[in-house]
């Protein structure tokens, strides 16, 4: 396992690389070219420049999150061929630069969805939270404006204003795309990029839908163990893998996270490890990483990843906003650093107990 932090690039992130370098045990960043719209190819010189910047700070690029997928590919419209070709060109350039893990999602219109971006916790920290009642009572355009207004001036990943200015048209374009069609379009895309991935040894890691059920009537297809396995079988090759995101799959209490992890050896290419506190089905908020602060047994989650021999990048995913930090919601430095350190501690304990036994006092 390699511990990493997500970093949006020096123009977009409040956290500089040198601070990330000082978190013990963090060896790399997961980054992206945040200003390139979904569908456009990534130029080689931009990839080389960001790689050089990260390496000059004593870190590595451990993976990309995300190379976003153009809606035409998800919808399966005739112009998808152009966007698939662009995607292949981007993968070819990433491969040339030695970058081997690519996270992406296949959620229509919206990426992850939260109804509050700064909900206070009893300890005075603030966190991202979700309440299904709010989503049921609001239209998507208003929802987008509300999310945007609460983001401290940062553009949230997957919530680009240029794209979401056309929410109504986007919804229209997805008419007729049900979950079977969306799945078919995903398989079509994966088969098309398989050769370039295999040429460079690139591992594609699909991010689960967040939350793990349909929102605003849009289909969601990566929500549980069954449909993860359906996808692994549909394109049954090692390049086709998963971002095991506990905070996304864990939005549904029906998902047994350690069991899902244990069922996917060799197919988890990237891990997002964090905790949620559940209040009732469809009502939850993001807690501190520590098991006792939320609903998940983080030891069992990390142990399952250890036991299947997970050796890819991991990140503490989101953190609470603490100590007066001002940052993109979920992506401050302080709580993610605490999370990384805690997970590294669990990992070391599990590793040592496994190798030399833990039972004797």
Name the residues annotated as catalytic.
207, 245, 272, 317-318, 331
| Separation CA 126–CA 287 (nearest Å) | 9
Question: What's the residue count for the chain?
Answer: 361
23-to-56, 65, 204 alpha-carbon distances in Å: 16, 20, 27
Residues 317-336 vs ligand DNO: string with x where CB under 6 A? -------------x------
Q: Which of 84, 101, 103, 287 contacts ligand DNO by CB under 6 A?
A: 103
Q: Could you say whether residue 7 binds ligand DNO (CB under 6 A)?
A: no
Minimum separation from the CB atom of position 238 to ligand DNO (A) = 20
d(CA 129, CA 206): 23
**Shortest Å, Cβ 214 to ligand DNO:** 16
284 binds ligand DNO (CB under 6 A): no
x/- letters, 153..192, toward ligand DNO (CB under 6 A): ----xx----------------------------------
207 binds ligand DNO (CB under 6 A): yes
**Using the rule CB under 6 A, is 130 a contact of ligand DNO?**
no
Instruction: Give the nearest distance from C-beta 155 to ligand DNO in angstroms.
Output: 11
Instruction: Decide whether 105 or 126 has the Cβ nearer to ligand DNO.
Output: 105
Binding piece for ligand DNO, criterion CB under 6 A, among 72-80, 102-110, 224-232, 292-300:
102-110
Kindly indicate which of the ranges 11-19, 73-81, 104-112, 163-171 contains the residues binding ligand DNO, using the contact rule CB under 6 A: 104-112
The answer to whether 307 contacts ligand DNO (rule: CB under 6 A) is: no
Stretch that binds ligand DNO, among 98-106, 181-189, 282-290, 303-311 (CB under 6 A): 98-106
Q: How many CA atoms lie within 13 A of 305 on its CB side?
A: 31
User: Beta strand pairing status for 101-105 and 116-120?
Assistant: unpaired
CB 53 to ligand DNO: min, Å: 21
Q: How many CB atoms lie within 10 A of CB 184?
A: 14
- Using alpha carbons only, give the angle 261, 222, 239 rounded to the nearest 5 degrees: 65
- Compare residues 66 and 291 and give the one whose CB is closer to ligand DNO: 66
Contact positions vs ligand DNO (CB under 6 A): 65-66, 103-105, 111-112, 157-158, 207, 330
């Amino acid at each position: 396992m390699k511990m990493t932090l997500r970093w949006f690039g020096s123009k977009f992130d409040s956290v500089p690389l040198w601070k990330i370098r000082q978190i013990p045990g963090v060896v790399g960043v997961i980054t992206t070219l945040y200003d390139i719209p979904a569908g456009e190819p990534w130029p080689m010189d931009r990839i080389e420049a960001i790689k050089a910047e990260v390496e000059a700070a004593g870190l590595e690029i451990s993976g990309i999150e995300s190379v976003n997928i153009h809606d035409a590919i998800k919808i399966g419209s005739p112009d998808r061929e152009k966007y698939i070709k662009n995607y292949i060109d981007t993968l070819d350039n990433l491969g040339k630069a030695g970058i081997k893990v690519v996270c992406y999602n296949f959620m229509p219109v919206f990426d992850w969805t939260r109804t509050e971006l700064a909900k206070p916790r009893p300890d005075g920290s603030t966190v991202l939270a979700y309440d299904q009642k709010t989503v049921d009572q609001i239209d998507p355009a208003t929802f987008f404006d509300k999310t945007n207004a609460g983001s401290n001036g940062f553009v949230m990943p997957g919530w680009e204003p240029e794209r979401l200015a056309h929410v109504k048209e986007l919804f229209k374009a997805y008419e007729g795309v049900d979950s079977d069609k969306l799945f078919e379009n995903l398989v079509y895309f994966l088969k098309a990029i398989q050769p370039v991935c295999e040429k460079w040894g690139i591992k594609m890691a699909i991010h689960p839908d967040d939350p793990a059920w349909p929102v605003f009537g849009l289909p969601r297809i990566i929500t549980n163990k069954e449909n993860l396995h359906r996808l692994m079988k549909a394109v049954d090759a090692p390049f086709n893998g998963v971002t095991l995101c506990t905070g996304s799959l864990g939005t549904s209490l029906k998902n047994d996270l350690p069991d899902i992890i244990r069922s996917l050896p060799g197919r988890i290419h990237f891990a997002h490890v964090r905790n949620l506190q559940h209040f009732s089905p469809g009502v939850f908020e993001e807690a501190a990483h520590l098991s006792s602060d939320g609903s998940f047994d983080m030891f069992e989650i990390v142990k399952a990843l250890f036991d299947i021999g997970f050796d890819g990048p991991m990140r503490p995913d989101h953190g609470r906003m603490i100590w007066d930090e001002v940052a993109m919601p979920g992506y401050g430095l302080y709580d993610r650093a605490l999370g990384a350190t805690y997970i590294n501690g669990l990992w070391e304990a599990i590793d040592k107990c496994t190798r030399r036994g833990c039972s004797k006092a």
